Amino acid sequence: MADHEGKTVTSGSNAGSGNMIFEPILEDGVFRFDCSGNDRHTAYPSISFVNSRSRDTPITSDKVPSYTPTFQCLLDQQVVKLELPIGTSFYGTGEVSGQLERTGKRVFTWNTDAWGYGPGTTSLYQSHPWVLAVLPNGEALGILADTTRRCEIDLRKESTIQFIAPSSYPVITFGPFASPTAVLISLSKAIGTVFMPPKWSLGYQQCRWSYLSDQRVLEVARTFREKHIPCDVIWMDIDYMDGFRCFTFDKEHFSDPKSLVKDLHHNGFKAIWMLDPGIKLEEGYFVCDSGFKNDVWVQKADGAPFVGDVWPGPCVFPDYTQSKVREWWANLVKEFISNGVDGIWNDMNEPAVFKVVTKTMPESNVHRGDKELGGCQSHSFYHNVYGLLMARSTYEGMKLANEKKRPFVLTRAGFVGSQRYAATWTGDNLSTWEHLHMSISMVLQMGLSGQPLSGPDIGGFAGNASPRLFGRWMGIGSLFPFCRGHSEKSTSDHEPWSFGEECEEVCRLALKRRYRLIPLIYTLFYFAHTRGTPVATPTFFADPKDPTLRKLENSFLLGPVLVYASTLRYQGLDKLDCTLPKGIWLSFDFDDAHPDLPALFLKGGSIIPLGLPLQHVGEANPSDDLTLLVALDEHGKAEGFLFEDDGDGYEFTKGKYLLTHYVAELQSSVVTVSVSKTEGSWERPKRHLHIQLLLGGGAKLDTRGMDGEALQVILPSEEEVSKLVFTSEKQYKKRLENTVQIPDVEEVSGPKGAELSRTPIELKNSEWVLKVVPWIGGRIISMMHIPSGTQWLHSRIEINGYEEYSSIEYRSAGCSEEYSVVDVELEHAGEEESVVLEGDIGGGLVLQRQIYFPKNTANVFQIDSSIIARSVGAGSGGFSRLVCLRVHPTFSLLHPTESFISFTSVDGSIHEVLPEDGEQFFEGNLIPNGEWRLIDKCLGLALVNRFNVAEVFKCLVHWDFGTVNLELWSENRPVSKESPLRISHQYEVVRIR
């Protein structure tokens, strides 16, 4: 490492095992564990903790750990294992896809540009080496592996947590405490709470990659207002820049950003603009010149600035691990804000780098970090915190620009502690029902890992949402903490009005719901900021002792409000069967019941504040009416809170706020609602107060008065209450029946004008689940190996995936033409499932493929591909043009730096093909001897591809941006009816350790 030799990460104990040693830190019930006293004293500073010294300073406590981790140090790896009681449920693990309950899963913390990820993807954009364990008795325990390095979180063994990362690192346990909420409050004392968001940032936000001109931005904003659809923010993606140069504006299409923002502000909108870390390497570009002058760039091992390709082409990257660089960036942000920028979006900050298989910069790069962060280290040490430190720099720059306003930053990459500086979203998801379902668990996992301000791209980023999918997603997404619609270029428009009148109305109703609930959401964020309590939580938080609630994935809690949604295409609210926690849960809505909106329930004993159905947050004023929705518990009591301030700035930290504690009590058929106590010096607005008392079945009793007064609701007789409930339920059912539903349109136009289904054909047995899209190239888009839970292939539909071509040219009917489903055998679940597809490739030829599970071999699936002559011309002697059958699978690499290809050639030579080897052909006696393997060392698995050597003349390995192609090529020759080209091959997953 040239000048930096001796300053890289060093290992702790390379041998040894046993119980870890502990000391209490922070507060009673929190313990730090190390492998040895020497490891404790030589540990690197904590970046996740607000104050690293608090992790390193023991406290006096009489408590001892209830559970002690064991360790084993071997080959520079530290393995930490914590065994808990049988019946323990695992959650957390940060930004992850897949199931809510994490038992059986394995996660690798390595921030990755994971475009189009699937449920089995093991590394996404953020890293949280953290597990929340809910014990059988409802108590909870948290465990944090406090390392920035690549870390494996292995939860595959029941009730056992295992961390594996380069040694040495401490682990911190929190609890066991009485509830999961108590654990998260304790965690927040270590890693900090979420920044207090400006109130406007809780409104709906509209984005697209990209709105290509200021006029288009204003057109979108104007349409929201004309259609009375609530919205507060318009986002500017990367195309607003001049040639993708950060801190610049396109001179033609965004020539006057100040005027644009002025117009947006006039109509009640805020403007958020993107900044990436990749700075175009170009002399004369003021940011680049300034960076070289101030020596701010990440370096290669030889000391030269690292250059990698991103959107502008060759780029250099700020080294945010240095305080001088963070200050340099913050001052650029400060100047940028003067253009009227209201918020900043940090994207591509894993950091993403194009044209390399790892999708990021080399791990050998050097960061000259501050001592308090860990000093000068290789990129492998700082990779996972690069996004956090960029977000921190951006946040500090916004504060420099205007210390009277709260910064709003959104970051794609992050680490434990990112919530102190930025919100986040779940990255480049897909417009599919699977991703809609998964978005609920992903948002909840972020909250359970300390980041409550998150949400997905509503409608999906990649691909075209159908009207019903978009409307259903808006219904759910409108109740997430962060609420933004976003879609990529080349997709159809994804604004709420883009899917027809029925979908537009559902979006309008959904967003009006959100805006009525903003007083509640804002109050929840105040508590999250000041106390560390979560905002959105899994349903089991209502009763952690109830094991039947722990796996529910289509419902969640927003404080005392239970949101129950359908994520199934054919199941609307009218067919939804809700599992409610114990106790009283009373349904309510805003007379807006619709099959594509979620069901809402209020927990008995709760009062929630409701606002008016606004078009934007700033539309309200202090004198507007306030509604309190009241649900009494079995004792006839209820309570709730409302936090109010000016919605921005920091005066609330000086006491200029109003926190009202409302209570309700039933005595002698009279319910009295009053103010129990208040905090803060903010003067109570003179406003009308509307009390709505829930009776059940959506029925309500009302009374009105002035806020601050004790108001009373007189309960009628039980018989009258029953009538009210019966009438309300009848009206509710009638509204659902009379609602105009969003049409079930799930079709797209095929290349020849035919209407072809987008719904994949699913083949499955005990080992594999395959999804095949017949309408474009007969594409296999997903290959999941069930026992290991690994997605070996999960691609977007439009490109990549798994296909065959009819020639050696890339452009081929195999990619672009319609396939016909010749035969599907799915009724025999298991070994006999198969699908046969054919595609017309011209010249009297068809490309035929059969995908099936051979009998008595559940561990493999087979693909037989052929180019068959159907009607070649007589003048050709019965032979076709020259053709080559090219089998072309594109596999996404879960762990690019830990993957390679291994095989033995026909001549007996052994080959290992690494990502840095680039593209390689193997012909003749060098082709694999009927088998080659794609090995993932992190997973300890290999995808074995076996084929008939006699049918294969050439093999190709092509490494790309986080993918690899393992191609089989036939000979290149004419075919006749009697001499088709064939390649038969099969796949199996095997363990390698």
pLDDT digits (tens, 9 = 90+) for 607-650: 999 999 999 998 987 678 999 999 999 999 999 999 999 999 99
- 3-class SS of residue 517: helix
pLDDT of residue 754: 32
pLDDT of residue 350: 97
Residue 116's pLDDT band, with cuts at 50, 70 and 90, is: confident
pLDDT of residue 855: 85
Overall average pLDDT of the 590-610 stretch: 96
Of the CATH numbers 3.20.20.140, 2.40.30.30, 2.70.98.10, 1.10.220.110, which one belongs to the domain with range 761-991?
A: 2.70.98.10
Q: How many residues does the chain have?
A: 993
Overall average pLDDT of the 375-393 stretch: 98
Whether 673 and 708 have beta carbons less than 8 Å apart is answered as: no
Judged by average pLDDT, the poorest of 464-468, 671-675, 894-898 is 894-898
pLDDT of residue 2: 36
Whether 444 and 536 have beta carbons less than 8 Å apart is answered as: yes
Q: Would you say residue 901 has pLDDT above 80? A: yes
Q: Would you say residue 253 has pLDDT above 90? A: yes
Give pLDDT tens digits for 256-294: 999 999 999 999 999 999 999 999 999 999 999 999 999
pLDDT of residue 687: 94
Which residue is it, tokens 């091959």?
985
pLDDT of residue 939: 87
Q: Would you say residue 692 has pLDDT above 70? A: yes
The CATH class given to the 233-267+269-413 domain equals alpha beta
pLDDT of residue 174: 98
Would you list the domain boundaries of the chain?
A: 17-191, 233-267+269-413, 531-738, 761-991
CATH code 2.60.40.1760 for 17-191: yes
pLDDT of residue 768: 93
Which residues lie below 8 Å from residue 516, measured CB to CB, with a gap of 6+? Answer: 590, 610, 611, 612, 613, 627
Residue 842's pLDDT band, with cuts at 50, 70 and 90, is: confident
Residue 845's pLDDT band, with cuts at 50, 70 and 90, is: confident
Q: Would you say residue 13 has pLDDT above 60? A: no
Comparison of pLDDT for 468 and 2, the residue scoring more: 468
Overall average pLDDT of the 717-740 stretch: 93
* End-to-end CA separation in angstroms for the chain: 32
**The domains spanning 17-191 and 761-991 adopt the same CATH topology:** no
Across 167-211, the runs of DSSP E, i.e. the strands, are 171-177, 205-206
- The one-letter code for the residue type at 770 is L
Quote the CA–CA distance of 971 and 542 in Å, as a whole number. Answer: 64
pLDDT of residue 822: 66
pLDDT of residue 830: 44
Q: What angle do CA 435, 439, 444 make, to 5 degrees?
A: 155
Overall average pLDDT of the 937-959 stretch: 94
pLDDT of residue 796: 60
Whether 34 and 40 have beta carbons less than 8 Å apart is answered as: yes
Secondary structure of 641-708 as H, E, C letters: EEEECCCCCCHHHHCCCEEEEEEEEEECCEEEEEEEEEECCCCCCCCEEEEEEEEECCEEEEEEEECC
Give the helix/strand (H/E) hosting 223.
helix 214-226
Of residues 445, 435, 410, the one with CA closest to residue 107: 445
pLDDT of residue 873: 63
pLDDT of residue 922: 96
Residue 251's pLDDT band, with cuts at 50, 70 and 90, is: very high
Give pLDDT tens digits for 545-572: 999 999 999 999 999 999 999 999 889 8
Quote the CA–CA distance of 702 and 671 in Å, as a whole number. Answer: 11
Quote the CA–CA distance of 474 and 478 in Å, as a whole number. Answer: 6
Give pLDDT tens digits for 471-513: 999 999 999 999 999 999 888 999 999 999 999 999 999 999 9
pLDDT of residue 752: 31
Quote the CA–CA distance of 967 and 932 in Å, as a whole number. Answer: 11
Residue 870's pLDDT band, with cuts at 50, 70 and 90, is: confident
Q: Would you say residue 373 has pLDDT above 60? A: yes
Q: Would you say residue 93 has pLDDT above 70? A: yes
Residue 818's pLDDT band, with cuts at 50, 70 and 90, is: low
pLDDT of residue 823: 67
CATH code 2.60.40.2130 for 531-738: no
Q: Would you say residue 844 has pLDDT above 70? A: yes
List residues with catalytic annotation.
347, 350, 428
Residue 779's pLDDT band, with cuts at 50, 70 and 90, is: confident
Share of the chain above pLDDT 70, in %: 93
Phi/psi at 154 (5° precision):
-110, 110
Give the helix/strand (H/E) hosting 158.
none
Residue 755's pLDDT band, with cuts at 50, 70 and 90, is: very low
Q: Share the mean pLDDT of the chain.
A: 91
Q: pTM for the full model?
A: 0.90
pLDDT of residue 6: 34
Judged by average pLDDT, the poorest of 236-240, 675-679, 855-859 is 855-859
Q: Where are the alpha helices (DSSP H) in 466-585?
A: 467-477, 501-531
Give pLDDT tens digits for 149-171: 999 999 999 999 999 999 899 99
pLDDT of residue 841: 77
Whether 79 and 154 have beta carbons less than 8 Å apart is answered as: no
